[in-house]
A = this chain, B = another copy of it.
Amino acid sequence: MNDGFEVTPYKVTGDIDYDELVDRFGTKRIDEALVKRLEKHGPLHPMIRRGIFYSHRDLDWILDQYENGPGFTLYTGRGPSGPIHIGHTMPWMFTKYLQDTFKVKLWFQLTDDEKFMFYDHLSLEDAKSWGYDNALDIIALGFDPKLTNIFLDTEYIKTMYPMAIKAAKKINFSTIRAVFGFDNSNNIGSIFFTSIQTVPCFLESMQQGRNVPCLIPCGIDQDPHFRVTRDIAGGLGYHKPALIHAKLMPSLTGSEKMSTSTAMNDTIFMTDDEKTVKKKVMNAFTGGRVSVEEQRKNGGDPEVCSVYQYNLYHFEPDDSKLAELHASCRSGKILCGECKALLFEKVWKFLETHQAAREKAKDRLDEFFVRD
Q: How far is the CA of A188 from the CA of B195 in the complex (A)?
A: 8
In the bound complex, CA of A157 to CA of B113 (Å): 13
Evaluate contact between A117 and B162: CB separation under 8 angstroms.
Answer: no
Q: Would you call A168 and B185 a contact (CB within 8 A)?
A: no
Which residue of the partner chain B has the closest CB to A123? B166
Q: How far is it, in angstroms, between the C-alpha of A267 and the C-alpha of B172 when the chains are bound?
A: 34
Asked whether A276 is an interface residue with its Cβ less than 8 Å from the other chain, the reply is no
Asked if A350 is at the interface (CB within 8 A of a chain B CB), the reply is no
Q: Mark A179-221, 1 if CB is under 8 A from B, else 0.
A: 0001111111111101100000000000000000000000000
- Is the C-beta of A173 less than 8 angstroms from some C-beta in chain B? yes
Q: How far is the CB of A172 from chain B (nearest CB, A)?
A: 5
A159 to chain B, nearest CB (A): 9
Q: Which residue of B lies closest to A122 (CB)?
A: B169
A297 at the interface (CB under 8 A from B): no
State in angstroms the CA–CA spacing of A195 and B196 once bound together: 15
Cβ–Cβ contact A173 & B157, under 8 A: no
Q: A187–B161 contact, CB under 8 A?
A: no
The answer to whether the Cβ of A124 comes within 8 Å of any Cβ in the partner chain is yes
Per the 8 Å Cβ criterion, residues 124-146 of A in contact with B are: 124
Residue among B117, B171, B183 making CB contact with A188, cutoff 8 Å = B171
- A176: interface (CB < 8 Å): yes
Contact among B182, B191, B372 with A372 in the assembled complex (CB-CB below 8 Å): B372
Q: From residue A188, how far is it (CB to closest CB) to chain B in Å?
A: 5
Known: A191-B191, A192-B191. A185 touches B161 (CB 8 A): no
Q: Are B165 and A189 in contact (CB under 8 A)?
A: yes
In the bound complex, CA of A190 to CA of B173 (Å): 10
Chain B residues whose C-beta falls within 8 Å of the C-beta of A172 in the assembled complex: 184-188
CB pair A187–B158 under 8 Å, yes or no, is no
Say whether A191 contacts B169, CB under 8 Å: no
Q: Give per-residue flags for A268-280: 1 if the beta carbon is below 8 A from chain B beta carbons, else 0.
A: 0000000000000
Say whether A169 contacts B189, CB under 8 Å: yes
* CB atoms of A173 and B184 under 8 A apart: yes
Q: A173-B184, A177-B184, A186-B173 are in contact. Are A162 and B124 (CB under 8 A)?
A: yes
- The answer to whether B165 touches A113, judged by C-beta atoms less than 8 angstroms apart, is yes
Question: Is B168 touching A157 in the complex (CB atoms < 8 A)?
Answer: no
A154 in contact (CB, < 8 A): yes
- Using a CB-CB cutoff of 8 Å, which residues 321-372 of chain A contact chain B? 372
Known contacts A124-B166, A172-B185, A177-B184, A161 near B191 by CB under 8 Å = no
Which residues of chain B are within 8 angstroms of A192 by Cβ–Cβ distance?
168, 188-189, 191-192
Give the complex CA separation of A162 and B185 in angstroms: 21
Do the beta carbons of A191 and B173 come within 8 Å of each other? yes
Asked if A107 is at the interface (CB within 8 A of a chain B CB), the reply is: no
CB pair B170 A187 closer than 8 Å: yes
Q: List 19 A-B contacts (CB under 8 A).
A: A113-B165, A116-B169, A154-B158, A158-B158, A168-B189, A168-B190, A168-B192, A170-B187, A172-B184, A172-B185, A173-B183, A173-B184, A173-B185, A173-B186, A177-B184, A188-B191, A188-B192, A189-B195, A372-B372
- A sample of 9 more A-B contacts (CB under 8 A), given A168-B189, A173-B191, is A124-B166, A155-B158, A164-B189, A168-B188, A168-B190, A170-B187, A172-B184, A173-B183, A192-B192
